[in-house]
Amino acid sequence: MKPSVADPEHHIDPTDFAQAEINKSLSPETKIRLLRDMIRIRRFEETAGKHYNAGKMGGFLHRYDGQESIAVGCASLMGAHDHMITAYRNHGHALSVGMSMEECMAELFGRATGCSKGKGGSMHFFAPDKNYWGGHGIVGGQSPLGAGLAYYVKYKGLKGSCMCFMGDGAVNQGAYHESLNLAGLFDLPVIYVIENNGYSMGTSQARSSVYKNCLAYRADGYDIVWDLINGWDLYEVRAKMQIAVKRAHEESRPTVVEINTYRHYGHSVADSKAKVYRAEDEIERFKQHHDPIQLWRNRLMEEGVITEAVYQELDKAAKAEAVASVDFAEASAYPEFEDITKDVYFEVDEFTEAGRTGRHFFND
């Protein structure tokens, strides 16, 4: 078992990831921006949760609280040709790549001003202009798509990658295994990021998967380099992910990383046994000692980058932004009835020649 970081060529001291080149070069402003981005996710999710419970939204709401360092850390490494795709727990990724709280909140409220015009809902946010490809509701369904986005990057000879996120439960979908084989066989610059929060709904990792060492180690069987990351340390996320990004850019080779993390709340807001399958003290322990936001905040205080006042300021701003996004959503209109059958076919929407031959829709 040889995780990629152990390779001396990367010059990484596993006892201090702050010293990795990619982190040493961070300006204080950028460090503060990373903190701000994590806080924004936390406040967005809290605000969404509150309004979900008040009956303002339908469907599911899968909150990202506790996992913020992963989306923010990974997004901070993205360049012009790096892409991102994930599953249904996708609000953090969406905000990390620069989607606005307004368009995201409006989507949750089912409004026409939402990022998917109210058509996708909580699980299905997209922003292709920001290299963000969703937001996918079917567990593991995004894994071949991630390979495909990387295929484009390689096909066009670009220096880029696709970061494809998934949960610890998704690694047992066949599509994921087929994707790994394809990625290895075709030298695709894809990075599979397993956000391991220990549970898939009410099922612990031990009850859902058999594995040697760790879930990422399964990649070894496909001759794909892998790594294991402490998700609550933003420096570590960035340092190790950067190695994978570099591998994608320079060698066009895939990587599988497993990032340990924890979700603070239930699988979705409606999780009848959220406090049954996870012991209360386990939840408390992670909130107290492994909260990526608190750890990053402490780190930046130690480094003298921020003061408590700066942190409070960021937090206040994030809260205000979240509240404003609700106002925006509530002031927005719902889609029109006619919108239900729009965005189904390109050719019909664009009224092209192909869209005008034959019948496309079959209601009266």
Partner 1 sequence: MPVITYREAIRHALDEELARDENVVIMGEEVAQYDGAYKVTQGLWKKWGDKRVVDTPISEAGFIGMGIGASMLGVRPVMELMFWSFAYVAWDQMINNAATIRYMSGGKINCPIVIRGPANGGTNVGATHSHTPENFIANTPGLKVVCPATPYDAKGLMKAAIRDNDPVYVMENTVLYGETGEVPDEEYVIPIGVADVKREGSDISLIAHGRAVITCLKAAEILAEEHGIDCEVVDLRSIRPLDEETIIESVRKTNRALCVEENKPFCGVGAQIASLIQDRCFDDLDGPVGRISAVDAPAIYSPPLEKLQLPYPEQVVQKVLAMV
Ligand X SMILES: Cc1ncc(C[n+]2csc(CCOP(=O)(O)OP(=O)(O)O)c2C)c(N)n1
Residues that bind partner 1 (CB under 8 A): 57-60, 107, 110-111, 116, 118-124, 136-141, 169-170, 172-175, 200-203, 207-209, 272-273, 277, 334-335, 337, 339-341, 344, 361-363
Which residue among 143, 197, 260, 268 contacts Mg ion (CB under 5 A)?
197
Distance CA 83, CA 104 (A): 19
Among Mg ion, ligand X, partner 1, none, what binds residue 89 when CB lies within 5 to 8 Å by partner kind? ligand X
User: 223 is written with which tokens?
Assistant: 């001759």
In the complex with ligand X, the residue whose CB is nearer, 10 or 124, is 124
Distance CA 56, CA 109 (A): 6
Q: Are 156 and 112 in contact (CB under 8 A)?
A: no
Distance CA 13, CA 125 (A): 37
In the complex with Mg ion, the residue whose CB is nearer, 67 or 325, is 67
In the complex with Mg ion, the residue whose CB is nearer, 37 or 168, is 168
In the complex with partner 1, the residue whose CB is nearer, 134 or 254, is 134
Burial class from Cβ neighbours inside 10 Å (0-12, 13-18, 19+) for residue 129 reads: exposed
Distance CA 299, CA 297 (A): 5
User: 260 is written with which tokens?
Assistant: 């340990």
Residue 200 makes contact with ligand X by CB under 6 A: yes
Residue 225, strand partner residues: 255
Among Mg ion, partner 1, ligand X, none, what binds residue 279 when CB lies within 5 to 8 Å by partner kind? none
| Cα angle 116, 119, 122; round to 5 | 75
Q: Are 183 and 175 in contact (CB under 8 A)?
A: no
For 106, the enclosing helix (H) or strand (E) is helix 101-108
In the complex with ligand X, the residue whose CB is nearer, 197 or 260, is 197
- Binding string, residues 60-99; x marks residues near ligand X by CB under 6 A: -----------------------------x----------
In the complex with partner 1, the residue whose CB is nearer, 207 or 289, is 207
Q: Are 200 and 266 in contact (CB under 8 A)?
A: no
What's the sign of the alpha-carbon dihedral 66, 71, 73, 76?
A: negative
- Binding string, residues 280-319; x marks residues near Mg ion by CB under 5 A: ----------------------------------------
In the complex with ligand X, the residue whose CB is nearer, 189 or 266, is 266
Which residue among 16, 24, 30, 138 contacts ligand X (CB under 6 A)?
138
Distance CA 270, CA 60 (A): 8
Residue 266 makes contact with ligand X by CB under 6 A: no
Nearest residue to 292 (alpha-carbon basis) of 245, 257, 260: 260
Which residue among 120, 167, 189, 292 contacts Mg ion (CB under 5 A)?
167
For 181, the enclosing helix (H) or strand (E) is helix 174-185
Residue 110 makes contact with Mg ion by CB under 5 A: no
Residue 278 makes contact with ligand X by CB under 6 A: no
In the complex with partner 1, the residue whose CB is nearer, 3 or 137, is 137
3-class DSSP state for residue 115?
Answer: coil
Residue 168 makes contact with Mg ion by CB under 5 A: yes
| CA 190 to each of CA 127, 145, 301: distance values in angstroms, whole numbers, following the listed order | 19, 10, 35
Q: By CB under 6 A, which span of 68-76, 199-207, 277-285, 290-298 interacts with ligand X?
A: 199-207
User: 215 is written with which tokens?
Assistant: 């879930």
Which residue among 32, 158, 201, 295 contacts ligand X (CB under 6 A)?
201
Interface with ligand X (CB under 6 A), residue total 13
Instruction: Compute the least distance from the CB of residue 245 to Mg ion, in Å.
Output: 23
> Binding residues for ligand X, per CB under 6 A?
89, 137-139, 167-170, 197, 199-201, 267
> Binding residues for Mg ion, per CB under 5 A?
167-168, 197, 200
